[in-house]
Amino acid sequence: NTVELYAEKVSFRGLCAIAQCESLKYKLLNGVAVRRACYGVVRYIMESGAKGCEVVVSGKLRGARAKAMKFVDGFMIHSGQPTKDFVDTAVRHVLLRQGVLGVKVKIMLPWDPTGKMGPKTPLPDMVTIMEPKEEAPILAPVSESREEVVAPVAVAPVEA
């Protein structure tokens, strides 16, 4: 009747939405200004190799009226199956003196054939340009006919 717990270190912390959301939460709890904290997180995520990111902080930021601030950088997809594969999302609540702030972090992961930094499958609209095959050089002009030429057949007139 024992509880076993396995913990593993996150290899790419900048590409983990949960880690970045917790980081932003502790920055806000320590009294760092919202804009400064969010831009710091966005910059760190993009420097870690993400394709794009979005940080939304909503609640009573200044004054009594609640509002939402959105910080976006890079490229982000919002629909379809690739969203489930490429976008890492985390939501946390920060309890401040004035009230509760909601923090949402979305990170668009890069395509990684090894599968360490992001999904192994590329985006469905990705185009790969192949190198043209080498062809033998043409030395003399050649005429090529694709249709068969049928010779007219002489028919003798029929007398009745």
The model's pLDDT over 82-141, given as tens digits with 9 standing for 90+, comes to 999 999 999 999 999 999 999 999 999 999 989 888 899 998 888 889 998 888 888 888
Domains of the chain: 13-108 (3.30.1140.32)
* C-alpha separations of 94 from 69, 75, 108, 109 in Å: 15, 27, 23, 25
Closest of 70, 69, 77, 23 to residue 51, by C-alpha: 77
Radius of gyration of the chain measured on its C-alpha atoms: 31
pTM: predicted TM-score of the whole model, two decimal places: 0.76
CA–CA gap between residue 6 and residue 108 (Å, rounded): 27
- Computed over every residue of the chain, the mean pLDDT equals 90
**The 3-state secondary structure of 38-91, one letter per residue:** HHHHHHHHHHCCCCEEEEEEEECCCCCCCEEEEEEEECCCCCCHHHHHHEEEEE
The pLDDT score that the predictor gives to residue 160 is 65
Q: Name beta bridge partners: 137.
A: none
- Label residue 121 exposed, middle or buried (CB < 10 Å: 0-12, 13-18, 19+): middle
Number of DSSP helices (H) and strands (E) in the chain, helices first:
3, 4
Specify burial of residue 134 (Cβ count, 10 A radius: 0-12, 13-18, 19+).
Answer: exposed
